[in-house]
Amino acid sequence: MNIIKKRFTIIILFFLFISVASIILNNPIRQTDESTLFGEVLKMYNGYSIYREINVLVTPLFFYIGLLFFKIFTANYLVFRIYGILIWCLLILSIYLLLKKIKIKNTYICIALMINILFLRDIITVGANYNILAITFCIFGMNHQISSKLKERNFYIIQGIFTFLIFAIKQTIGIYYFLGFVISDIIVNKKIEVKKYLLLIMTVLLLSFIGMTILFAQHSLYAFWDYTVLGMIEFQQNLTVETYIIGLVIINIIIAGVKIYKNKEDNILKILFIYSLIMLLIAYPIICDFHSRIAMIFSILCFTYCISQDKYIKFKYLEIAIICVIVSYLMFLTIDNFITWINNPGYCKQDRYFGAVNDDRIDERIRIITEYINGSPKKVVLISPEATLYNARLDINNGILDLPLKGNTGLNGKEKIIRAIENLGDVRIMITNYTYYQEYPEIHNYIMNHYNKVDTVIGIFEVYEKK
């Protein structure tokens, strides 16, 4: 019976991998974080230096892994989406291994994994994303923390490696993981291991020094500091709030809090609860639907453990019924996604967007804008968060002007963008007739005050020349 249950769980796991692949592959091409990140990795593939010539807000490991994929295979959207599929499959695997380690029964694991897929369905469409990769390593690190009974020097060195890897993917999540580990370790062990925490910190610093040396050799160290540290100051200006996150947080705190009060010796619950609280900071400062949902992954893990430990909750045959319903829905969704993806005309193999689902409206817009840029008597510089969507096809890099958002341009970003515009010379500048909430409205005002409008393209983009 145990063998049958184990094989059933593996089949469900493999099925979820396929479901994730279908969701990512059948996502139409449009301006999203996915297209922006694809464009930034593509610039690195074309020889531009990260930070010095590409304004990236986070630490670089995600981008270097993406660059490796492009160099091994080729630089197009299909390869980037395969990279995204692998990241999401690793996330599912990390959750599975953690739930298995804390002795959650197989049917609960299957239900928890499928609920995660349903909860994150709209988020999975982002594909390759540094937040998801960082969270995956966080869960692998938590698994190591829970499974290690003898916490000798090697334990803290390995935790230092996990902390560094997470920090190297996204600096803020690395800090949150470090805080979660130290606080949970102190509470569980009921003592402060100063020397061992210093060993962890020294491991992180040593590996960081190696990374800094590489950036210094690439003449990108100051730009790295500017974007990833100083730029975070301006990034706080993007604060927004998704109110439903507050309700979910309160529910998690009440349930886990009651459980801990009843069983003060449950160290696993303490560890999961502490991470679930601290990792909510992932949503800050842009507490949007995307950031809120990925921050809630840790709360879902904690909630799953709480439910599985409740002796009064008995699903019996209902567990199988729930699995059958969710599997049926996901199977329908998966088959529909693959049929749509296979039958979509897509893009030719020579196009950077090969492998992406064709959206006629967006495809027509990309075609018109790229043809306009290529056919203009003067160089055209598109200054917009959408720029990467068009410049990727043309293999163009305009530096910070490709992503002129608050926080993405380092400290005093507005002044940097204006200086970059002033240094463009005799060119045509193209902007949208609207602004994103993360843009500086002053940039559009500066262009309209210092340049003459000479053209409008597809009713959305306005073209200006210097007065």
- The 3-state secondary structure of 261-318 reads HHCCCCHHHHHHHHHHHHHHHHHCCECCHHHHHHHCHHHHHHHHHHHHCCCCCCCCHH
CB 378, CB 427: distance < 8 Å: yes
State the Cα–Cα distance between residues 123 and 119, nearest whole angstrom. 8
- Among candidate residues 336, 318, 323, the one with its CA nearest the CA of residue 117: 323
Q: State how far the Cα of 106 lies from the Cα of 103, in Å rounded to an integer.
A: 9
The confidence score (pLDDT) of residue 437 equals: 77
3-state secondary structure of 324: helix
- Determine the pLDDT at residue 313: 55
Contact by Cβ (8 Å): 90, 136? yes
Instruction: Record the pTM.
Output: 0.92
Cβ pair 31, 369 in contact under 8 A: no
The count of other CB atoms within 10 Å of the CB of residue 69 is 18
Q: Which residue has the tokens 């950031």?
A: 291
Are the C-beta atoms of 326 and 114 separated by less than 8 Å? yes
- Evaluate whether 398 touches 379 at the Cβ level (below 8 Å): no
> Is 362:34 a contact under the CB 8 Å cutoff?
no
The residues spanned by each domain of the chain are 2-223+314-328, 360-466
**Strand locations in 341-440, DSSP E?**
380-382, 428-432
462: three-class secondary structure by DSSP: strand
**Token duo for residue 1:** 């019976």
| pLDDT tens per residue across all 467 residues of the chain | 455 556 777 888 888 899 999 999 998 888 889 999 999 999 999 999 999 999 899 999 999 999 999 999 999 999 999 999 999 999 999 999 999 998 888 778 888 888 888 888 888 999 999 999 999 999 999 999 998 766 677 899 999 999 999 999 999 999 999 999 999 999 998 888 888 999 999 999 999 999 999 999 999 999 999 888 887 766 655 455 555 666 666 777 777 777 777 777 788 989 999 999 899 888 776 667 788 888 889 988 888 888 777 655 555 666 677 778 888 888 898 999 898 888 887 777 778 988 888 778 888 899 999 999 999 989 999 999 889 989 998 999 999 999 888 878 888 888 999 999 999 988 999 999 888 878 888 999 999 999 999 999 998 999 999 87
First to last CA, the chain: 80
How is residue 404 annotated by DSSP? Answer: -
Strand partners, 286: 240
Question: What does the block give as tokens for 211?
Answer: 């990374």
User: Alpha-carbon distance 112 to 110, whole Å?
Assistant: 6
Q: What is the pLDDT of residue 245?
A: 62
Strands 461-466 and 451-457: antiparallel
Strand order in the sheet with 380-382: 380-382, 428-432, 461-466, 451-457
